[in-house]
Chain A
Amino acid sequence: AQSVTQLDSQVPVFEEAPVELRCNYSSSVSVYLFWYVQYPNQGLQLLLKYLSGSTLVKGINGFEAEFNKSQTSFHLRKPSVHISDTAEYFCAARGSQGNLIFGKGTKLSVKP
Chain B
Amino acid sequence: NAGVTQTPKFQVLKTGQSMTLQCAQDMNHEYMSWYRQDPGMGLRLIHYSVGAGITDQGEVPNGYNVSRSTTEDFPLRLLSAAPSQTSVYFCASTQAGSRGYEQYFGPGTRLTVT
Contact = CB atoms under 8 A, between A and B. Distances in A.
A43 interface: yes
B53 interface: no
B92 to A, nearest CB: 8
Interface in A77-112: 90, 94-95, 97-100, 102-105
Given A9-B40, A105-B42, A98 B100 contact: no
Interface of B: 31, 33, 35, 40-45, 48, 50, 56, 58, 90, 92, 94, 96, 99-103, 105-108
Interface string A13-55: 0000000000000000000101010000011111001010000
19 contacts: A32-B101, A34-B102, A36-B105, A43-B90, A44-B90, A49-B100, A51-B99, A94-B101, A97-B45, A97-B48, A98-B33, A98-B94, A98-B96, A99-B33, A99-B58, A100-B103, A102-B44, A104-B40, A105-B40
A97 B96 CA distance: 11
Contacts of B106: 43
Interface size grouping (class) on chain A: 20 to 34
Given A44-B90, A94-B101, A97-B45, 19 more contacts: A32-B101, A36-B105, A42-B108, A43-B90, A43-B107, A43-B108, A49-B102, A51-B100, A90-B42, A95-B45, A98-B31, A98-B33, A98-B96, A99-B33, A100-B92, A104-B40, A104-B41, A105-B40, A105-B42
